[in-house]
Structure 1
């Protein structure tokens, strides 16, 4: 009877350790990886943010011009077909 209880306790302890490792181990690994990260300086962050904003503005202007051109061409095509 005590052998069975001891085995049950051992299996419960093993299960508890496995469950704890399943939760704690990824957190420890994440913390270790975060310590390896090289964070950008404030100046780098500002500079890269400005680059992203400028590129977004340029791309939106290009897309607007393309959309306006295709809208104009479609309007010309519709008028040409309507006059037939």
Structure 2
């Protein structure tokens, strides 16, 4: 009999969890289409800038290492 109560308690807990999730999702303020587009552009631009910075640093350090290797040998 205890097994049946535990199973029912688990089902009730799962059902309660899904009801709470649904309730919370209704409270979410979703961004408008324009906001989503604008923020996507910002993310793409920042990614490009950071990529360019990392590329420049990589080229700089590669050239410095080549210069140091040339001086050592």
**Could you state the TM-score of these two structures normalised by the residue count of structure 1?**
0.79
Using the alignment, how far apart are the partners of 1:12 and 1:78 within structure 2?
73
Structure showing greater radius of gyration is 1
Q: Give the C-alpha shift of residue 13 in structure 1.
A: 5.6
Q: Which of 33, 54, 75 is 2:45 aligned to?
A: 54
Using the alignment, how far apart are the partners of 1:71 and 1:16 within structure 2?
63
The RMSD of aligned alpha carbons is 1.4
User: How many aligned residue pairs are there?
Assistant: 73
Structure 2's unaligned 5+ residue stretches are none
Inter-CA distance 80–33: structure 2 relative to 1 (3 Å threshold) = same
Residues 59-78 of structure 1 show CA distances to partners (whole Å, capped at 9, x for unaligned) of 00000000000000000000
Residues 15-45 of structure 1 show CA distances to partners (whole Å, capped at 9, x for unaligned) of 3431221210110010010000000000000
Runs of 4+ that moved beyond 2 A: 11-17
Structure 1's unaligned 5+ residue stretches are 1-7
**Could you state the TM-score of these two structures normalised by the residue count of structure 2?**
0.90
